[in-house]
Amino acid sequence: MEKTFHFDSPSEPYVADAVVLTCFDQRIRTVVNKFLQKRGILRPDMVVIAGGAKTLASPRNDFERDFILEQVRMSILLHKTTRAYIMCHSDCATYGGLAAFNGDREVEAKHHCQELERATGLLKDRFPDLQVECFFVNFEGIFAAKDGTKEQVA
Ligand SMILES: [Zn+2]
């Protein structure tokens, strides 16, 4: 094997601060990373997949949902995770972008909050001891989704 890059990574086992389910959309990567750091989530188990919480709320098929549930189960089992952060974001292509909501940011945000609520229900159902927090990400910040509405947190 030929070494192609040198970097010293921490090798100790760890307890994950949270399992984080978020979309692979590159536009939200920086804000999500900064938000997690600000929240003290320094060792997250990142589940980065097209649609983020959509894979639980409105999966394309059972496989997609079951695969994500298994990732969460593995985080709990292997890294003693007690908390989940689940996220949806504005203009997510898996929902057809903002255009699917006729460009109405409020309608879009409300829809995503409902999606997050459904995803939370599924996770709490499967993992009753897991503490679940859900967030809607747009191009201005991150909002806590509670009772189908959003409130800015970052
Ligand atoms: Zn997306």
Within a domain: 128: yes
CATH code of the domain in which 58 resides = 3.40.1050.10
Instruction: List the one residue out of 149, 20, 21, 23 whose CA is nearest residue 97.
Output: 23
Ligand 1 midpoint to CA 113 (Å):
14
Within a domain: 10: no
- Count of structural domains within the chain: 1
Classified as helix, coil or strand, 121 is helix
Ligand 1 midpoint to CA 82 (Å):
25
pLDDT for residue 116: 97
46 has which bridge partners? 20
Within a domain: 141: yes
pLDDT in tens, 8-62: 999 999 999 999 999 999 999 999 999 999 999 999 999 999 999 999 999 999 9
> Is the Cβ–Cβ distance between 64 and 94 less than 8 Å?
no
Within a domain: 102: yes
Would you say the pTM of this structure is higher than 0.85?
A: yes
| Ion ligand 1 nearby residues (CB, 5 A) | 23, 25, 92
Within a domain: 3: no
Within a domain: 11: no
